[in-house]
Chains A and B, each alone.
Chain A
Amino acid sequence: MEGGFLGFLEKNSIYIVLFIVLVIWSGIFLFLLNTDKRLKAIEKELKEK
């Protein structure tokens, strides 16, 4: 169909699954990182008080 990276994915579709799993885990990771940032701000505020 298409050459290059997309063509490779077309032939080895398990890598598409892998890519999609990576997208989901990075989304969850970013959300947790954001929560961690909020908790760090709370910790800092508590220490200052």
Chain B
Amino acid sequence: MCFVIVTGISFPIVLHPTSWREFPIIPGLEEKAKIIFFHVPTAWLSVVAFLMAMVYGIKYLRNKNLDDDARSSAALQLGMMFSILATITGSIWAKFNWGTFWNWDPRETSIFILLLIYGSLFALRSAIDNEDKRARLSAVYSIIAFLTVPFFIFIMPRIMLGLHPGSLEIDPTTNKVVQGTNPVVDFKMNGSMRLVFFVSLFAFTILYYWMWSVRSKAIIIKENLSKK
């Protein structure tokens, strides 16, 4: 498998040494298309982090182990940070492609609602002093909150008209709602771009995992120390 991957990637590069960094020109995006290597992993990691928060929430409810609550809380903090980063980077990109920093595109609205949902979880956590009660409520909240994530991230922006890639658009010739006529809205990557994209996604995921494990260990040790 490794052999196939390495040879599959390296032989085309040896044959065409410059082809790996040649990206197709996407009309309307040009160099800005490279933002996708950084903006999409942040959004992806926020979904992964919220999923992990839910998984450790379920684990806590089954075992009543406070360490699982600490792990869930670390994932929540990282998820929040990555969704804020996705919002900021997205709105900077929007300024240069759509004209304004914020224009209530379905994708922007959905991440805004997600930030509100998860932001209130932090308010809930800081309002409760009792550790067990806090962990139980937070676990239940993170499970319910994650149920909305697939809708807000994957479904809602795809069934509404918008400018973000994946949205529906109105075909100017037929005036019908369609998918995939505008090159900016219907974004296609070529092979080398896809390779860089997936390497970036993978590297960001490893970075996330390391940050999560350091953060959760710090929370667990802190809690154990304060108990003694």
**Mask for A21-35, Cβ within 8 A of B = 1, else 0?**
101100110011001
Q: Does B22 contact A (CB under 8 A)?
A: no
Chain B nearest Cβ from A46, distance in angstroms: 7
Q: Does B78 contact A (CB under 8 A)?
A: yes
How long is the Cα–Cα vector from A14 to B32 in the complex, in angstroms? 6
Overall SS of chain A's interface: helix
Contact A16 B32 (CB under 8 A): yes
Taking residues whose C-beta sits less than 8 angstroms from the other chain, chain A's interface range is 20 to 34
Q: Which residue of A lies closest to B81 (CB)?
A: A31
Residues of chain A within 8 A (CB-CB) of B221 are 42
Contact A35 B215 (CB under 8 A): yes
Contact A17 B211 (CB under 8 A): no
Contact B214 A35 (CB under 8 A): yes
Residues of chain B within 8 A (CB-CB) of A21 are 38
List A1-49 residues whose CB lies under 8 Å from chain B.
6, 9-10, 13-14, 16-17, 19-21, 23-24, 27-28, 31-32, 35, 38-39, 41-42, 45-46, 49
Q: Which residue of A lies closest to B80 (CB)?
A: A31
Contact A16 B218 (CB under 8 A): no
For A17, give its contact among B34, B88, B214, B222 (CB under 8 Å): B34
Chain B nearest Cβ from A40, distance in angstroms: 10
Contact A20 B218 (CB under 8 A): no
Contact A16 B84 (CB under 8 A): no
Chain A nearest Cβ from B202, distance in angstroms: 16
| Chain B residues at the A interface, C-beta cutoff of 8 Å | 30-32, 34-35, 38-39, 42, 77-78, 81, 84-85, 88-89, 92-93, 95-96, 207, 211, 214-215, 218-219, 221-222, 225, 228
| Chain A residues at the B interface, C-beta cutoff of 8 Å | 6, 9-10, 13-14, 16-17, 19-21, 23-24, 27-28, 31-32, 35, 38-39, 41-42, 45-46, 49
6 additional A-B pairs beyond A13-B96, A16-B32, beta carbons within 8 Å, are A14-B31, A16-B31, A16-B92, A20-B35, A28-B207, A42-B225
- 27 intermolecular pairs with C-beta atoms under 8 Å apart: A6-B95, A9-B96, A13-B30, A13-B96, A14-B34, A16-B35, A16-B92, A17-B32, A20-B35, A20-B39, A20-B89, A20-B92, A23-B89, A24-B85, A24-B89, A27-B88, A28-B207, A31-B77, A31-B215, A32-B211, A35-B211, A38-B218, A42-B221, A42-B222, A42-B225, A46-B225, A49-B228
